[in-house]
Structure 1
Amino acid sequence: MMAVDKGARCLVLNGATLGATGSGVLALFSGGHPLSSAALEGLSATAGMASLCRVLLEQAGWEDGPGRIVAVTGPGSFTGLRATLALAQGLALGYSASLCGVTLGQAYRAREGWSEAYCITRARRDRLFMERPDGTVWAGPSGAIALPARAFVVGNGVSMLDLPQHETLIRADCTSPDPRDIYRAACHADDRPSLQPLYIDAPEARLPSQGLRPSPV
């Protein structure tokens, strides 16, 4: 098999929606073609992302790593995003690879015929994140989301759109972007030295169940 220049090697990471109901993927592309991939399931998968990346790279024979790393920047879970972007930045530093971030919406809309897709992502409790075709975002209860009639919707939150006004929506049977969608979106994006997560909601902060410990004397 012909060797592929390191600059043509790409690692794709998507852990943005990892959680109780979310999934993700790691994938390798060589010369623009998919080479291998590994599925991520559940929030616990964030702990094994680094070791799974190492396995994929070893199996591909990429001892000196990829030349480019593409990571999904959200919207999604705080834990999934933090783990994904921290890993992407660490690998880019270690392998001297370029970095690129794409949103879930950009990835979906990179698919042929999906340029007007509304990306609907599950948030905590009965909330949804929406990324519109123009890149603007919204977060709120599923019953408060405002969508045009016959809007094309895609994402793991689409199943929560179950009110009468949602009956005219055109629904894609797809809850997570294919690695090829993410790769295609990255081909139209600028490399960035640092990845900025697309956080819509502020992080949730709670007091410990036993209360705060007293200040040291």
Structure 2
Amino acid sequence: MQADGATRSLVLNGATLGAGSCGDVAAFLGSECVAQEHLEGVGATASLAATCQNLLRTLGWQKGPHRIIAVTGPGSFTGLRASLALADGLAFGFGATLHGVTTGQCFRSNPAWENSICVTQARRNRIYVEFQDGRFWAGAPDDLALPEGSCVIGNGASLLQDAGLRRIDVAQPDIALIFKAGSRIPASGPLQPLYIDAPEARPPAQGLRPAPLP
């Protein structure tokens, strides 16, 4: 299944993993998708590493991928943390290059959507907006003012009430768009998640456990 000289790419989308959502893992040989696993359900995030391991074993990629493409967000705190940590670890172990892409970059890799504004739904009735030039904005849907005729896409686009907007009814980019966007992005260092809101991590109610006795 391996062709001489063909680039082996592993694509991870954990930005959509979480309660009631799903994610994807895929392998590309050159520009052809040769395997894909769709993850969903409560244990999807926990099974991400095992899914990648099984996929690489099935393909006979003992030396791993040449490059790893991963969606950096915005999206699920748990899904992003798990998928990007896995991407960083696999890249270090296999010596692969890392290519992080945002959801907006993935959508805009489709020529028909290259001028679209990506709108992602957040908690507390808020949205996260990624403009074509890379700027970001977060706030309530009613506080966003866009020029008439603006093209919006993503799972938060339906929250915008402006009748003058052009909406594309696509909630998430598919694996082909993620691969295409990542193929255009230069390699980088360890990937950092793009969160809409700060993670709501709290210390244990009873405080931290005491250090173990020597």
Structure 1: segments with no counterpart, 5+ residues: none
The correspondence of residues 87-102 of structure 1 with structure 2, limited to 5 A, is 87-102=86-101
Distance 1:82 1:5 in 2: 34
The correspondence of residues 36-185 of structure 1 with structure 2, limited to 5 A, is 36-42=35-41, 44-161=43-160, 163=161, 166-185=162-181
Query: Secondary structure of 1:46's match?
Result: coil
Cα offsets for 1:96-129 (capped at 9, x unmatched): 1111111111111001211111111121231211
Cα offsets for 1:140-195 (capped at 9, x unmatched): 2233233222211111222322x2xx222222121111111111112221101211
Distance 1:52 1:214 in 2: 34
For 1:69, give the aligned amino acid: I
Task: Select the residue among 193, 196, 201 that pairs with 1:197.
Answer: 193
Q: Please give the TM-score of this superposition, normalised by the length of structure 2.
A: 0.88
Cα gap change, 1:213 to 1:192, in 2 (>3 Å):
closer
For 2:175, give the aligned amino acid: P
Runs of at least 4 residues off by over 3 Å: 205-208, 211-216
Q: 1:207 Cα shift? A: 6.1
For 2:101, give the aligned amino acid: V
Cα gap change, 1:212 to 1:148, in 2 (>3 Å):
farther
After the TM superposition, which of the residue ranges 123-132 and 104-113 deviates more from structure 2?
123-132
Distance 1:180 1:132 in 2: 21
The alignment-based identity, stated in percent, is 50
Distance 1:184 1:203 in 2: 29
Matched residues, number: 210
Distance 2:116 2:182 in 1: 17
For 2:9, give the aligned amino acid: C
The correspondence of residues 21-40 of structure 1 with structure 2, limited to 5 A, is 21-40=20-39
Cα gap change, 1:214 to 1:62, in 2 (>3 Å):
closer
Query: Secondary structure of 1:47's match?
Result: coil
Q: Please give the TM-score of this superposition, normalised by the length of structure 1.
A: 0.87
Structure 2: segments with no counterpart, 5+ residues: none
Distance 1:213 1:193 in 2: 35
